[in-house]
Amino acid sequence: MLCNPLVLTEVAISLTSPVAEHAITLLMSVNRKIAAASVRVKMADFSLDNSLLGMDIHGKTVGVMGTGKIGQILCKIISGFGVNLLAYDVFESDAVKKLGGKYVSKEAIYSSCDVIFLMMPLLPATKHTINESVLPLLKKGVIIINTSRGGLIDTKALVSGLQSDIIGGCGLDVYENEGDYFFRDWSGKVCQL
């Protein structure tokens, strides 16, 4: 049986845009500390202070590591925030360049970006893209968003980066070794992470 290519294209689009949009949602949630604000409201703490403000995304330098279909959609969305867009990929996208994105090295992404999106496939060359040796290279306070593959981040390095304030926050849709825990109800059990 033959499939209509138009239908396949529509399915591909329907699966790529939501991931890019979710990555933006994670960024905004982490940056504006939505979870912490929600807890405060539930506790009837309506005090005003600067601890929940986050930063303005406009004018910041944002790195997108992986500019395939999802990464390109993400670049289009995030460029609307008025950011300085840097990208890294072994295959450069003309669409990203037309948006004003500039392709640079991984090291340039690490050192200059306020936000880093991981949008790459998990391959031997990309495993643990964020690791202990990368932490000293990162711009202090960087927000890391990963909606691609958990193995792109070394979990121990991520925790270390968060504890030392090198990493200012992270939004994860995936994480390393998630297969043992996700898609199951753990509400009545203790997870041994």
Distance CA 168, CA 26 (A): 14
What CATH number was assigned to the domain covering residues 5-44+54-177? 3.40.50.720
- Model confidence over 29-39: pLDDT tens digits? 999 988 877 88
Query: Per-domain residue ranges for the chain?
Result: 5-44+54-177
Name the β-bridge partners of 86. Answer: 63, 102
∠ Cα 75 76 79 (to 5°): 75
Q: Of all helices (H) and strands (E), which one includes residue 161?
A: helix 155-163
State phi, psi for 115 to the nearest 5 degrees: -135, 135
Predicted confidence band of residue 193 (pLDDT cuts 50, 70, 90): low
Please list the active-site residues: 149, 178
Predicted confidence band of residue 10 (pLDDT cuts 50, 70, 90): very low
For residue 171, the tally of other CB atoms under 10 A from its CB is: 21
- Model confidence over 112-146: pLDDT tens digits? 999 999 999 999 999 999 999 999 999 999 999 99
Classify residue 142 as left (phi > 0), alpha (psi -120 to 50) or beta: beta
Q: Considering only CA atoms, which of 152, 166, 63, 71 is closest in space to residue 108?
A: 63
Give the pLDDT of residue 191: 62
Give the neighbor-by-neighbor strand order of the sheet with 142-146.
102-103, 84-88, 61-65, 115-118, 142-146, 167-172
Q: Considering only CA atoms, which of 151, 101, 97 is closest in space to residue 121?
A: 151
Predicted confidence band of residue 8 (pLDDT cuts 50, 70, 90): very low
Res. 13: pLDDT tops 90: no
Lowest-confidence pick of 95-104, 108-117, 144-153 = 144-153
Q: Considering only CA atoms, which of 77, 66, 142 is closest in space to residue 111?
A: 142
Res. 97: pLDDT tops 90: yes
Mean pLDDT of 83-91: 97
| pTM for this model (two decimals) | 0.85
For residue 134, the tally of other CB atoms under 10 A from its CB is: 18
Predicted confidence band of residue 181 (pLDDT cuts 50, 70, 90): low
